[in-house]
Amino acid sequence: DTEVTQTPKHLVMGMTNKKSLKCEQHMGHRAMYWYKQKAKKPPELMFVYSYEKLSINESVPSRFSPECPNSSLLNLHLHALQPEDSALYLCASSQLLEDTQYFGPGTRLTVL
Amino acid sequence: DQQVKQNSPSLSVQEGRISILNCDYTNSMFDYFLWYKKYPAEGPTFLISISSIKDKNEDGRFTVFLNKSAKHLSLHIVPSQPGDSAVYFCAARGDHNTGNQFYFGTGTSLTVIP
């Protein structure tokens, strides 16, 4: 089973809202990732967790706050977003940091 | 600065013929390369990979070729099927200095015409 699940599938929020994106995998992977993807662009790495510890933070604004409650779950807390943050947010996981990454279906986020 | 490039944004191929998707990279320290396939409104799906110690890896209709001296890899799909129509991303893994981060190309949209 190489499934990574993400909820919600779609999210529309205002600039003053607080919302969270969720990602789950049950493959026993110890590395998990958040990517942001705009149309016709490659996925951009945002955060990397390895063994539930934040490993890489690619200079992402503080209005995005990741959380890894356990080895299967990864959250992305959103607060005071801007319209330009509208994108497809992808979660991925891999056995270890250097291994093949498996992606979830993504959350399509629209900020009004 | 884009370290992995896919210079063809789109490609159309007749069903049954060969599809060749190309990818170029700039960093000679990349040691592992992957191809992902992405349908609209879905996340990328891992397709095939190749280590830098090899020059070819085959999986069914999909073959990836790596030319390290040219810093070039390609994905061959033979025979192409309409269900192969999707966006294909190549990705390359950096070394431990980058935290083994993966760098993605901009994608090539493949259309297989029935």
Q: What are the tens digits of pLDDT across the range A53-79?
A: 998 777 899 999 999 999 999 999 999
Q: At B91, list the tokens.
A: 């990705």
- Best residue in A36, A55, A101 to probe B by mutation, most B CBs within 10 Å? A101
What is the C-alpha to C-alpha distance for residues A41 and A61, in angstroms, rounded to an integer?
20
Of A1-15, A43-57, B88-102, minimum mean pLDDT range: B88-102
Identity of the residue in A42, A56, A104 whose CB atom sits nearest the CB atom of B106: A42
Convert chain A into a string of H (helix), E (strand) and C (coil).
Answer: CCCEEEECCEEEECCCCEEEEEEEECCCCCEEEEEEECCCCCCEEEEEEECCEEEEECCCCCCEEEEEEECCEEEEEEECCCHHHCEEEEEEEECCCCCCCEECCCEEEEEC
Q: Which of A98, A102, A107, A108 to mutate to test the interface with B (most CBs of B within 10 A)?
A: A98
Per CB-CB distance under 8 Å, the chain B contacts of A42 are: 4, 89, 104-107
Which residues of A have a CB under 8 Å from any CB of B? 2, 4, 6, 40-43, 45, 48, 55-56, 90-92, 97-98, 100-106, 108
* CB-nearest partner of B46 from A40, A102, A105: A102
For chain B, how many residues are written? 114
pLDDT band, residue A92 (cuts 50/70/90): very high
pLDDT in the model for residue B36 = 96
Confidence of residue A41 (pLDDT cuts 50, 70, 90): confident
Average per-residue pLDDT for chain A? 92
Q: Do A42 and B44 touch (CB under 8 A)?
A: no
Cα A68 to Cα A25, B56, B59, B78, B89, distances in angstroms: 12, 37, 35, 41, 27
Q: Is the pLDDT reported for residue A2 higher than 70?
A: no
Which pLDDT belongs to residue A58?
Answer: 78
Measured between CA atoms, the residue of chain A closest to residue B100 is A98
Residues of chain B contacting residue A92, judged by C-beta atoms under 8 Å apart: 43
Digits of tens for pLDDT over chain B (114 positions)?
A: 689 999 999 999 999 999 999 999 999 999 999 999 998 878 899 999 999 999 999 999 999 999 999 999 999 999 999 999 999 999 999 877 777 788 999 999 999 999
The pLDDT of residue B46 is 93
Question: Which of A69, A82, A75, A72 is closest to A109 using CA atoms?
Answer: A82
pLDDT of residue B101: 83
